Amino acid sequence: MFTKNQQLEVSIEDMTEDGSGVGKIDEFPFFVKDTVIGDRIAMVVTKLKKNYGYGRLLRLICPSKDRIAEVCPSARRCGGCQLQAMSYERQLRFKREKVANHLKRIGGLDVCVEPVIGMEQPYHYRNKTQVPVGVNRQGQLCMGFYASHSHDIVEQPGCLLGSRENDRILEAIRQFLIANQIPAYNEADKTGLVRHILIRRSYENGDFLVCIVINGKRLLGAPALVQRLLALAPEITVSSICLNVNESDTNVILGEKIIPLYGPGYLEDSIGALRFRISPQSFFQVNPVQTRKLYEIALSFASLTGTEEVWDLYCGIGTISLFLAQKAGFVRGVEVVAPAIQDAKENALRNNLPNTRFYVGKAEEVLPRVYREEGCRPDVIVLDPPRKGCEPQVLETMLAMSPARIVYVSCDSATLARDVGRLAAGGYAVEKVQPVDMFPWTVGVETVCLLSKLHEAKHHVNVTVDMDEMDLTSAESKATYEEIKKYVAEHNDGMKVSNLYIAQVKSKYGIIERENYNLPKSEDTKHPQCPKEKEDAIVDALRFFRMI
């Protein structure tokens, strides 16, 4: 019916998770980047699959009423902002619809989602920037951001999301690397030294922390780099400079070892009345203006009176924990990153909140162990997991603990919906869902969800789950691993993918393996991560089999 390179006209009716527009011709969907819901466009077909295709925007025939001019000249190439052509008001509606659709389609929950809390000034809001360093096609050192769906670096000074001072910091580092002939890391042959530059900024006092991620254990001429960065004063105050050692063949940006070069090795910042110490490896929300709103909502949902015992899972440096400790009887936090827990303990001391205890370890190991050994039954559990959501052991233990309220904070509404659906099936009612726009101009949205025990909930939510369509575990039955491997090989020149890679991609899209499936033989086992090109091929297969 359609052929590659064919030119077509189509109306954009919807958008995908990555911000691509969706248009249908005779019920056959095409995914077209750089389009907005409501656009009528001319496109060229770039790729065809059995049940869907991809197109490239040629021209706008009739632009959507929600389309605006892209402010950034690199908006279409850079992978950082997916929604620059969409008005901010429409972005907020899109994100609300996204959360509601995930809760209904994945979680089987027909609930009211509140309007997204947006920003008055949705630019230059990020207090953390991670800049890849590489070599361009001319063999020259380059710094910037990855292009969409690739690791090609797009150099874009004047990024509208990060701090305005970032450009001068990056230029000082660039001149140092060039002057000292220090090579950038080359992903192709794993040679070179400098991989990434991490810049953090304190919203409170404007100080900066600069961390250079290296493929080695030392940086020649490091004192000269320190002097270049300190020379940016008084306009820019760099109070901490360090190296991070990452010699692994991985897409993970930071390694475990920090080498201090100057300053205390951390920043100090505040949220409301609380002060925090932030190390390079610590998780801290990137949008300080919206973070305060987010945490105040979580605190409000927890409905603390001063006597409750609270667990804060995936607590990071203790930001939510300490917010809760101001109103709770006792708070326990769990975090797998040891430096973050050290920061959490320091933060509890500096804020005079002794009613806290922090555990280093995986939530899926610490929570069941403490429950088994101490029989803890908290009144409230608050959790803010990574994008992949919760492990089954965490959800099972939470249900066994049976707290009166669960406050789930999530940066991924798909895994939020999956986990909340399981908690609802275990006896909890969804009372409130409040999205907060932490990431303007991108498809990301943060969501706070309040769940209450059914016998205590004032407003029960009737949940009807069609197990054939809604239960994510049934998605596994739609295609076996061998069928996915076969599809990938047939459509990608014989490409081979492992069970592990398929499982990683399935997990990323909210399809969780059966309990005890493919568990590592050792708790310390480190798995290789699925390369980008293989992930894309597996995603194509999952879409073909209608698993996502």
Distance CA 179, CA 132 (A): 19
- State the virtual CA torsion across 19, 24, 25, 29 in degrees, nearest 10: 70
In this structure, the strands spanning 356-360 and 330-335 are parallel
**Tokens at residue 233, please?**
């004063």
CA atoms within 13 A on the CB side of 446: 24
Distance CA 299, CA 314 (A): 16
Cβ–Cβ < 8 Å for 149, 206: no
Cβ–Cβ < 8 Å for 18, 29: no
**Tokens at residue 5, please?**
């390179």
Cβ–Cβ < 8 Å for 284, 320: no
DSSP label at 474?
A: G
Cβ–Cβ < 8 Å for 309, 378: yes
Active site residue 411: yes
**Tokens at residue 526, please?**
């480190």
**Tokens at residue 148, please?**
């969409």
DSSP label at 426?
A: T
Catalytic residue among 78, 242, 411, 449: 411
As separate numbers, helices (DSSP H) first and strands (DSSP E) second, the chain gives: 12, 22
DSSP label at 75?
A: T
Cβ–Cβ < 8 Å for 254, 266: no
With residue 57 as reference, give the H or E element that holds it. strand 53-62
Of the candidates 76, 77, 116, 78, which has an alpha carbon nearest to the alpha carbon of residue 96? 116
What amino acid positions are annotated as catalytic residues? 411
